[in-house]
Chain A
Amino acid sequence: MSSFIRKIVQFCLILSLLLFLLEIPIQVNYPSQTWEFGDWHTLKGINAEILLVGGSTMWTGFDADRITCSTGKKTYVLAQDGYGGTMVMTKLKNYLLCNDAPEVIIVNGGYGFFHERQEWYDKHHFLKYLFLDREGLYSTVNQLQGFHWWEFWVPFVRYSGAMRRYFRDATWKNFKPKRKNGFSPTRAQHDPLPEIPFDTVDLARKNFALIPQYSELCENRKIAIRTPVSRNLNERTGGVDSVRFQFESQGFMYIDLNAITVWPDSLFNDNVHLNEHGAKLASNILIDSILKPLYADPAFDARAIRLHIPLPSIQANALSENIQ
């Protein structure tokens, strides 16, 4: 028996060594990002002055480059594709740990914030960052389907069934994403998102408990934006007033972009994700109607705004057709 146990221990040691060897390239390449969007990437040294926080509706909906150029403030979209407020808050916490607090934080206060997943969507984007939980993800993902505790403690095995991703994470150098400004909405134009079949959406019932936690994280000026949705979906969305109340009671300036103007279907890839033209329009509204007045007058109240800026001519016809 002792010989049996001894050999098992020897074998397990060799196996562990092999797994650690396979883990080394992943840890060496830790800071690199291999996917343009969706990656859970490292965040050190971004130090944005305006920080947009949310899921896919934020990174497809606002052009950080445009905002930076127009306002002169360094803008960054801190997004996690496919996730709602809980996951994004973990990312925001990580961001705040290794960056200066932004002057303005703009949080997605629409469906994207309240939409929570049961399953671990796009898990492969997280794999690199799980071992030893250097990103503090454990408590955020341990309720999701697809979570396995050992993936945080045993080297390499989390790449089980994802060898292509392993080789990419282990060998690829930085993909050169727009680390300066976060994700670019232009991607959405080239890679149309699938139609998301929403029925009625009630925003009031979910995730209110997250709002105070976000409020605590945002020391300076904080804004919550309900991102544009198609007119059809907007008409079937309930509970916006409750959401507004919840955000405003926590010190957020709540702006419903759907109340400012009507968003024609031609500006969307699907019901909730703006295309490039839509993102341009949304960014312009954010810049001209909110950020510029805000920087000019800290007491500016965005609740009063209604769209009075001229729409880009390319959208004018489409918009008027839809309104009629």
Chain B
Amino acid sequence: MLFNSPEFLLFLPIVFGLYWFVANKNLKAQNALILSASYFFYGWWDWRFLGLIALSTLVDYTVGLQINKHRIERNRKQWLWVSVLVNLGLLGYFKYTNFFIKSWIDAWNSLGIEMQTTTLQIILPVGISFYTFQTLSYTIDIYRGQLQPTRSLLNFATFVSFFPQLVAGPIERAAKLLPQIESKRVFKYEEGVTGLRLILWGLFKKVAIADNCAIFVNDIFANYPDYSGPTLILGMVLFAFQIYGDFSGYSDIAIGTAKLFGIQLMTNFKTPFLSKSIPEFWNRWHISLSSWLNDYVFFPMAFTLRKHGKSGVALAVFFTFLVSGLWHGADWKYVVFGGLHGLIFLPYVFLNHGPVQIGTGRIDEDGYFRWHHTIRNFGLIAFTFSFNLFAWVFFRADSVSDAMSFFSHLMKSLDSEVVFDMRMTENFPIYLCIFILAMYESKGEGAKFMCRYRRVRWSIYLFLIFLIIAVAQDESSTFIYFQF
């Protein structure tokens, strides 16, 4: 089920009503309702893959208890390996099998040894990368002694499958989400209102911005040899807003929906386009993933390599970004995307005097748009944004060679006489929506609609709803990050 579908518009009030008016007296009943709703939500897409979530849940629930039960380090580690192998095994099979087969064959072919390409017909289960990482963090935290396992299978299953963030995050940590699931929730008016505002704002970003940018982006990237250089640059910029609107829109809806059920999810985006450096960008972009990678990939590796000093840290950073790239998809283009970010991160490692961290979610005091920003800051923001545009071409293109060809054509056609060869007036609604997005989010006001007068606030809500209806595409389109 998609957040931007009418089915969800019916599903949410029904579950909300049952949750607060029928099951509100009993925590178990509330969690059972959330669990059923989550399985229904996921099964709406493909019920067959519910088994995978159930398997992952059962394995990690058991592993968590076993790790906690055993005191001998060897036994604890063995149980942890069970969790790692099952989770990464599922992820590897469903997401990376064909990639590895193809890469293997390509490698032999490049050596002149002909091998036939045979790939398996494997459907990638939606959200597998998200819930796999979430359950992995649970067992690793227990192994590290940072978390006590839950005794309730119901609570754990609810934690794993909590529908607002099941298929595209934010990737929650058990230490934060499980205690909320295990304790009684009380409806708070302010939380409910904030949740609805976030849902509305997320829908606006997804439906009005991302889906409309997608029309031009898809056309430009599919037919880039036919377009002039400036149009290709426009396509790159629109893709930046598409992917931001799509993913942060999803996160906003997820966080807002969770608030309606009295549960707080972590912030996933903090105006990333205002970042002044790539390290800062990763503190603002997909924070739940980058902090996960920081805790479970970068930090252990940097610790292992600590005797090599900054070189070891740099290696850990680079490796972490390669993993980040590969997490996004089973294709070399994602590896290149991650590698580019890793490379541009390296100077920061060597020049920074403090400890290196990825995805802290911390931003500077002047991290939002202020008119008194210095020219230097504007320059840094522009540089960081430009680098992201460059790296996202690899993300968006069909392959690495396609991305290279895109750049090649871009360089050749920059001096062409044709400035913009698309009908620019058709883009006007998109520019308007992007302008509204920039005006609102650059102030860093969170989900507040900047007015204490209800009539004005409600007028803004109505205007946003009208805008969503006016520019929405006919069919609800899926979220980009569902494929990961």
Question: Interface of A with B (CB < 8 Å)?
Answer: 1, 3-4, 8, 11, 14-15, 18, 123, 146, 148, 150, 156-157, 159-161, 163
Contact = CB atoms under 8 A, between A and B. Distances in A.
Contact of A161 (B6, B462, B466, B474): B474
Interface in B435-464: 458, 461-462
Interface of B: 6, 20, 187, 189, 192-193, 196, 458, 461-462, 465-466, 469-475
Contacts of B471: 161, 163
Please list the 8 inter-chain residue pairs (A to B) with the smallest Cβ-Cβ separation, ordered nearest first.
A160-B472, A160-B469, A4-B192, A163-B470, A161-B472, A1-B187, A161-B473, A4-B189
Given A1-B20, A123-B474, A160-B469, 12 more contacts: A3-B189, A4-B189, A11-B458, A14-B458, A14-B462, A15-B462, A18-B466, A159-B469, A160-B474, A161-B470, A161-B473, A163-B470
Contacts of B466: 18
Contacts of A1: 20, 187, 189
Nearest to B186: A1
B131 to A, nearest CB: 30
Contacts of A146: 474-475
B470 A160 contact: yes
A11 B469 contact: no
Contacts, number: 37
Contacts of B462: 14-15, 18
B12 to A, nearest CB: 12
Contacts of B461: 11
Nearest to A123: B474
Contacts of A161: 470-474
A157 B475 CA distance: 13
A149 to B, nearest CB: 8
Contacts of B187: 1, 4
Given A1-B20, A146-B474, A161-B474, A156 B469 contact: yes
Nearest to B454: A7
Given A1-B20, A160-B474, A163-B470, A148 B6 contact: yes
Contacts of A18: 462, 466
For A3, A150, A159, A160, the residue with the greatest tally of chain B CB atoms inside 10 Å of its CB is A160
28 contacts: A3-B189, A4-B187, A4-B189, A4-B192, A8-B196, A11-B458, A11-B461, A14-B458, A14-B462, A15-B462, A15-B465, A18-B466, A123-B474, A146-B474, A148-B6, A150-B6, A156-B469, A157-B469, A159-B469, A159-B470, A160-B469, A160-B470, A160-B472, A160-B474, A161-B472, A161-B473, A163-B470, A163-B471
Contacts of A150: 6
A123 B475 CA distance: 12
Contacts of B458: 11, 14
B132 to A, nearest CB: 33
A8 B187 CA distance: 15
A146 B475 CA distance: 7
Contacts of B196: 8
Nearest to B187: A1
A148 B471 CA distance: 17
Contacts of B474: 123, 146, 160-161
A3 B189 CA distance: 8
A161 B474 CA distance: 7
Nearest to A150: B6
B457 to A, nearest CB: 10
Contacts of A14: 458, 462
A4 B461 CA distance: 16
A156 B469 CA distance: 9
Contacts of A148: 6
A12 B6 CA distance: 15
Contacts of A156: 469
B456 to A, nearest CB: 14
A4 B469 contact: no
B354 to A, nearest CB: 45
B212 to A, nearest CB: 9
A112 to B, nearest CB: 25
A150 B465 CA distance: 16
Contacts of A123: 474
A160 B472 CA distance: 6
Nearest to B459: A14
Nearest to B6: A150
Contacts of A8: 196
Given A15-B462, A156-B469, A160-B472, A4 B193 contact: yes
B101 to A, nearest CB: 34
A123 B473 CA distance: 13
Nearest to B465: A15
Nearest to A11: B458
